[in-house]
């Protein structure tokens, strides 16, 4: 299984937060069954000073596997990114596949909307500055959305969309809150899995057990059957039984 720390990296990529600097903002996971809080014990993120707002101290998220918290359908885990803006992501187990059906690969099935810009103040007003929710309230509904340059978008909204386009997790120069391209997200996930495998296989920690995993699709089974590989390039995933 993967650790909560690895899950954090995966979520950064597939949601769309800043992945150029993993310690840009701090984060935590909250077990919805008992309120236990897990996160980084050592963080240089500017918002790490706000740990006390989410609990007295975080349990080390590198030492807990995801499967120990989410074990049955309906189990939920709260992921909070940016302890200042407090972006909440609710993770829910919808179904559990048997070993005969599951490939074991990490996949993106669907999605919607662009990730909010970094440092956009969350969903509430702060010192008179408009929050991201305030921006969304200025825009037409998604069914009527024809892009950030459309005449139906107010001047005030266009200014805020331009400001959002300067965030380090927005690449188009002009924020489009309704933009979602699943192939782009799948590509980000593939890169994240590849990097995570490389990082873990280079670990000097002891008592490791090797598991082969395809760096193209993330599938640990039947590596020679991966149709997405133009040549055999399999990396070694190491992990520790906790």
pLDDT digits (tens, 9 = 90+) for 71-113: 999 999 999 999 988 999 999 999 998 888 888 788 899 999 9
- What is the mean predicted confidence (pLDDT) over 179-197? 87
**C-alpha dist (Å) from residue 215 to 15, 43, 188:** 20, 28, 12
**pLDDT for the residue 229:** 39
As a whole number of angstroms, the distance between CA 75 and CA 30 comes to 12
113: left (phi over 0), alpha (psi -120 to 50) or beta: left
Q: Which helix (H) or strand (E) holds 59?
A: strand 59-60
Q: Are 89 and 53 in contact (CB under 8 A)?
A: no
pTM of the model: 0.78
Q: Which band of pLDDT confidence, cut at 50, 70 and 90, is reported for residue 48?
A: confident
Q: Are 142 and 117 in contact (CB under 8 A)?
A: no
- What is the mean predicted confidence (pLDDT) over 172-195? 90
pLDDT digits (tens, 9 = 90+) for 108-158: 999 999 999 998 877 766 545 568 888 999 999 999 999 999 999 999 999
Q: Which band of pLDDT confidence, cut at 50, 70 and 90, is reported for residue 38?
A: very high
Grouping H, G, I as helix, E, B as strand and the rest as coil, residue 131 is: coil
pLDDT digits (tens, 9 = 90+) for 195-235: 766 555 444 333 334 444 454 444 555 544 444 433 333 33
Location of structure tokens 């995966």? 10
**pLDDT for the residue 155:** 95
What is the secondary structure of 8-56 as a DSSP string? Answer: HHHHIIIII---S-TTSS-EEEEETTT--EEE-SS---GGGGGGGGT-S
Q: Which two tokens stand for residue 219?
A: 């599938």
Q: Which two tokens stand for residue 131?
A: 């929050």
**C-alpha dist (Å) from residue 22 to 12, 48, 164, 189:** 8, 13, 20, 15
User: For the chain, which residues make up each domain, given as ranges?
Assistant: 1-96, 113-179
**pLDDT for the residue 224:** 45
Closest CA to 93 of 111, 61, 70, 115: 70
Q: Are 57 and 48 in contact (CB under 8 A)?
A: no
Q: Are 114 and 179 in contact (CB under 8 A)?
A: yes
Q: Does the pLDDT of residue 239 top 70, yes or no? A: no
**pLDDT for the residue 51:** 83
As a whole number of angstroms, the distance between CA 200 and CA 1 comes to 13
- What is the mean predicted confidence (pLDDT) over 166-182? 93
Per-chain mean pLDDT for the chain: 80
> CA 11 from chain center: how many Å?
1
pLDDT digits (tens, 9 = 90+) for 68-81: 999 999 999 999 99
Q: Which two tokens stand for residue 12?
A: 């950064």
């Amino acid at each position: 299984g993967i650790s909560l720390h690895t899950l954090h990296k995966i979520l950064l990529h597939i949601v769309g937060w800043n992945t150029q600097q993993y310690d840009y903002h701090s984060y935590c996971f909250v077990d919805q069954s008992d309120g236990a809080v897990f996160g980084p014990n050592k963080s240089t993120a500017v918002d790490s000073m706000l740990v006390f707002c989410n609990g007295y101290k975080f349990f080390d998220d590198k030492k807990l596997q995801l499967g120990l918290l989410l074990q049955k359908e309906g189990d939920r885990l709260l992921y909070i990114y940016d302890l200042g803006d407090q972006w909440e992501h609710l993770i829910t187990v919808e179904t559990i596949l048997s070993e005969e059906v599951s490939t074991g690969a990490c996949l993106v099935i669907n999605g919607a909307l662009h990730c909010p810009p970094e440092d956009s103040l969350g969903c509430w007003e702060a010192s008179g500055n408009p929050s991201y929710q305030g921006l969304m309230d200025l825009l037409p509904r998604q069914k009527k959305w024809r892009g950030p340059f459309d005449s139906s978008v107010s001047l005030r909204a266009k200014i805020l969309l331009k400001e959002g386009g300067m965030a380090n997790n927005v690449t188009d120069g002009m924020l489009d809150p309704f933009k979602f391209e699943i192939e782009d997200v799948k590509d980000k996930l593939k890169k994240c899995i590849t990097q995570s495998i490389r990082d873990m296989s280079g670990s000097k920690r002891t008592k490791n057990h090797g598991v082969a995993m395809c760096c193209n699709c993330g599938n640990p089974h039947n590596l020679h059957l991966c149709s997405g590989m133009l040549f055999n390039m399999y990396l070694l995933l190491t992990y520790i039984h906790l």
